[in-house]
Chains A and B, each alone.
Chain A
Amino acid sequence: GQNIDQPTEMTATEGAIVQINCTYQTSGFNGLFWYQQHAGEAPTFLSYNVLDGLEEKGRFSSFLSRSKGYSYLLLKELQMKDSASYLCAVRDLFGDSNYQLIWGAGTKLIIKP
């Protein structure tokens, strides 16, 4: 079956570093996404990994290990505005141009002063 696991909630301190893990078991794989969603708002794209390794983008980095079915999102120099839910999603391709995203339940990150 299709399954994506991530912690339900995490708490971290402003200025610190936090790592949000995501493990997946899917029938196919064509990339893993991280999205940020503030309460009451639509999700916004953070990162996309299709090859193993670390992708760095400013304060945010995302890592992928396809052999382990594992990814993490690393947030550095945490700011209060980083308080949000972080969604992990795996893309599975069908045919030449069709795809589906399988979503995790999201990790609610709480930043404390």
Chain B
Amino acid sequence: SAVISQKPSRDICQRGTSLTIQCQVDSQVTMMFWYRQQPGQSLTLIATANQGSEATYESGFVIDKFPISRPNLTFSTLTVSNMSPEDSSIYLCSGGAALSGELFFGEGSRLTVL
């Protein structure tokens, strides 16, 4: 199994600012993903974090708004840029190995944008 740590766990941010969320995995995983979850809703995939190269973004998400880094197998960051109240959400980091059946999640980062 893998333990995934995220920080910050929560933050209150001002409109127009940017915030970087860090994700650390305690063991090597092949895949790392960033999700967003609005209250009461299911998970929305933002992007797949690729080691040493640009992330692969889902439709509706762009690098300028959500820059992602993954310098090694066990660490990734997601930045929410130029935040607006619509960006208020829970952001979840997840990771898993390609051939195993399980995807592990961090505890999430709850962002509130005023």
Contact = CB atoms under 8 A, between A and B. Distances in A.
Contacts of B53: none
Interface residues of A, number: 23
A31 B98 contact: no
A44 B105 contact: yes
A96 B92 CA distance: 25
A84 interface: no
B67 to A, nearest CB: 20
Size bin of chain B's contact surface: 10 to 19
A103 B42 contact: yes
Contacts of A96: 98
Contact of B42 (A31, A50, A99, A104): A104
A27 interface: no
Given A87-B42, A87-B43, A100-B45, A42 B103 contact: no
Interface of B: 30-31, 33, 41-43, 45, 48, 92, 98-99, 101-108
Given A31-B101, A50-B101, A98-B31, A43 B107 contact: no
B102 to A, nearest CB: 5
A9 B87 CA distance: 26
Contacts of B43: 43, 87, 103
A31 to B, nearest CB: 6
Given A42-B92, A43-B43, A106-B42, A100 B48 contact: yes
